[in-house]
Amino acid sequence: MSFKEKIQQDLIEALKAKKELKTSVLRMLLASILNKEKDKRYKLKENQDTLLTDEEILEVVSLEAKKRKEAAELYEKGGRSELAAKEKSELEILQKYLPEQLSADEIKKLVIQAVAKSGAKEQKDMGKVMVILMPQVKGRANGNLVSQIVKESLHG
Q: What is the CATH classification number for the domain harbouring 32?
A: 1.10.1510.10
Instruction: For residue range 20-77, list pLDDT tens digits in order.
Output: 999 999 999 999 999 999 888 888 877 666 788 888 888 899 899 989 999 999 999 9
- Model confidence band, residue 156 (pLDDT cutoffs 50, 70, 90): low
Contact yes or no for 141/103 (Cβ under 8 A): no
Cβ neighbours around 114 below 10 Å, total: 22
Q: Which residues of 24-50 are buried (b: 16+ CB within 10 A; e: fewer)?
A: ebbeebbebbeebbeeeeeeeeeeeee
pLDDT digits (tens, 9 = 90+) for 91-130: 999 999 988 888 888 888 888 888 888 887 877 878 888 8
Same domain assignment for residues 144 and 70: no
- Angle, CA 70 vertex, CA 114 and CA 146 arms, to 5°: 5
Instruction: State whether 55 and 129 are in the same domain.
Output: no
Shared-domain flag, residues 9 and 77: yes
Per DSSP, 100 falls in state P
Mean pLDDT of 2-24: 94
Q: Is 154 left (phi over 0), alpha (psi -120 to 50) or beta?
A: alpha
- Show the domain range for 114: 104-155
